[in-house]
Amino acid sequence: MGDDRLLREEIRLPLDDARTRIRRHTGLYPEENLTRDVLRICDEVMARGDATPRLQEAREAVAARCLRLSQVADRFADRNLGTIAKARAQAIAAIDMLQDAVLDRRRPEVAPQQCGGIMLRQRSR
């Protein structure tokens, strides 16, 4: 069970950085590129193993939600705090879905191998 905890932590820590970037995104600075920065972190977490359709779908959801947050928080947009908060929450939820997909994909790598042999029992006396 310790391996599962370590795997969860290995996946969660970099994605916490992505969540922090989403929470701190203001849209006020032209050099901010939220989608690029968050996807770079997601790609690093996904780099191990093959990308499954579920992982690709989760990555696309993260990209779409980050783009939406960037659009509603843009300094030239009609800034509505409720809309920005909703877009921020949806982007973080997309990160959560990606985290679950990566965990499901990588969990078999650390799972103990099941023994296919016959279990011997002692007779109780």
Residue 88: is it exposed, middle or buried by C-beta count within 10 angstroms (0-12/13-18/19+)? buried
Is the pLDDT reported for residue 114 higher than 70?
Answer: no
- Angle at CA of residue 74, ends 73 and 78, nearest 5°: 80
Is the pLDDT reported for residue 15 higher than 90?
Answer: yes
Is the pLDDT reported for residue 5 higher than 90?
Answer: no
- The reported pLDDT for the residue numbered 47 is 81
End-to-end distance of the chain based on CA atoms, in angstroms? 33
User: Where are the chain's structural domains?
Assistant: 2-110
Is the pLDDT reported for residue 30 higher than 60?
Answer: yes
Distance between CA atoms of residues 109 and 29, nearest Å = 41
For the stretch 52-108, pLDDT in tens is 899 999 999 999 999 999 999 998 988 899 999 999 999 999 999 999 999 988 887
For the chain, give the number of residues. Answer: 125
